[in-house]
């Protein structure tokens, strides 16, 4: 039986994040998940204020998923949610000193793992992979638009 591409993508993503979680736990002695890391990376790359909806839109995840991740990150002391004086409903998400401290090492581990993930790929294969993934992304965005109509 031929493998289905969507199942292979899901498997690769799961394996990647599982290994990343294990690397962080072992090397940093901290329970930092791969999902925590991508939020930390996003926050460090954006100078403008970041809100929960920004994360929902950027990562294409549900509000409840982002809420859970942010709540756990806040409990671990990685982020703070600050009230916005213009709108009490909004909470700006900012890294704490602890979140900034772990950023460098955590990102280093993610890059090391990415290098291992792509180690047998030629530059042409990487270009092809990115092209195909962008096509898949476009198709899913179009499907989502069709569903909303």
pLDDT above 60 (res 1): no
pLDDT above 70 (res 57): yes
Fold of 5-117: Arc Repressor Mutant, subunit A (1.10.10)
Distance of CA 68 to the CA centre of its chain: 14
Give the whole-angstrom CA distance, residue 106 versus residue 67: 22
Residue 2 confidence (pLDDT): 66
First to last CA, the chain: 36
What are the residue boundaries of the structural domains of the chain, listed by start? 5-117, 121-149
pLDDT tens digit sequence for 93-134: 999 999 998 888 877 878 888 999 999 999 999 999 999 999
When mean pLDDT is compared across 56-60, 61-65, 86-90, 96-100, the lowest value belongs to 86-90
Q: Between 86 and 67, whose confidence is greater?
A: 67
pLDDT tens digit sequence for 10-51: 999 899 888 888 887 787 777 788 788 889 989 999 989 999
pTM: 0.76
Paired residues of 91 in beta bridges: 83
């Amino acid at each position: 039986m031929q493998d289905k591409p969507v199942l292979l993508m899901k498997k690769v993503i799961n394996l990647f994040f599982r290994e990343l979680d294990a690397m962080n736990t072992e090397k940093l002695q901290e329970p930092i998940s791969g999902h925590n890391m991508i939020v930390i990376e996003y926050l460090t790359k954006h100078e403008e204020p970041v809100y929960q909806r920004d994360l929902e839109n950027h990562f294409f995840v549900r509000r409840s998923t982002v809420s859970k991740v942010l709540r756990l990150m806040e409990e671990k002391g990685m982020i703070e949610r600050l009230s916005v004086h213009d709108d009490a409903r909004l909470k700006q998400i900012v890294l704490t000193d602890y979140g900034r401290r772990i950023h460098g090492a955590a990102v280093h581990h993610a890059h090391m793992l990415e290098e291992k993930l792509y180690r047998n790929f030629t530059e042409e294969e990487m270009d092809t992979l990115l092209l195909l993934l962008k096509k898949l992304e476009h198709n899913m965005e179009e499907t989502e638009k069709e569903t909303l109509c």
